[in-house]
Structure 1
Amino acid sequence: MTTTYSGPARLILVDGACISGMASLSTNHRGGLNGWGGTFRPDEITTDLRNAVQGLQLELPYDRVGTVDVTGIRKLLATQVLMSLVGRGPAPF
């Protein structure tokens, strides 16, 4: 099973809006805890995206989908942000 993924993804907001971007994800198997998370860099920034926190879906190629929560948003450049994500349930990669 793959333990990392880096490539295109779509973040699906609670209202169904889709935001394309690039994801960098990995699993973490430390201390007997299984989980996954990483970052998402959206192609566009909207108010809804900035307010998104829980119950989001991250869709990877080949219709693989995982549930994620946003744990932080950091400004990279004037027009880019990097979102920190934590996955819930099985990793989609």
Structure 2
Amino acid sequence: MTTYSGPARLILVGGTYVSGMASLSTNQRGGVEGWGGTFRPDQISADVRNASDGLFLELPYDQVGAVAVTGIRKLLATQVLMSLAGSGPAPF
């Protein structure tokens, strides 16, 4: 298993960048490789709350991977934690 934890930017469908912190890992189950994890945006907006498919996650050094939001959980009054499922090669 490979992991990444640190700064990242979620790129929304309209091209808006949302900065935050990501915690990601690869998983290999039954020969199927995949990756995913969580993303905690620095600021939340309606666009962030409504994000679902067609998104990208950019890590430092211009590493980018396609992601879909599989769930959003409220942490505090001003914070959410987004569950992500990656597709294609992991960017870390």
TM-score of the aligned structures, taking structure 1 as reference length: 0.97
Amino acid at match of 2:22: A
2:35 alignment partner, SS class: strand
Runs of 4+ displaced beyond 2 Å: none
Q: Determine the structure 1 residue equivalent to 2:69.
A: 70
Residue number in structure 2 paired with 1:82:
81
Q: Distance in 1 between matches of 2:51 and 2:40?
A: 14
Deviation at 1:42, TM superposition (A): 0.2
Task: Tell me what 2:15 maps to.
Answer: 16
1:89 Cα offset (Å) = 0.4
Q: For each residue in 1:33-83, what CA deviation from the matched residue of structure 2 results, as whole angstroms up to 9, or x when unmatched?
A: 100000000000010111110000000000000000000000001110000
Deviation at 1:31, TM superposition (A): 1.1
Q: How many Å apart are 1:30 and its aligned residue?
A: 1.5
Q: Give distance in 2, aligned partners of 1:49 and 1:16.
A: 12
What TM-score do the two structures reach when normalised by structure 2? 0.98
Instruction: Indicate the RMSD between aligned Cα atoms, in angstroms.
Output: 0.8
Equivalenced residue count is 92
Paired position in structure 2 for 1:7: 6
CA distance in 2, matches of 1:10, 1:60: 7
Alpha-carbon distance in structure 1 between the residues aligned to 2:68 and 2:26: 15
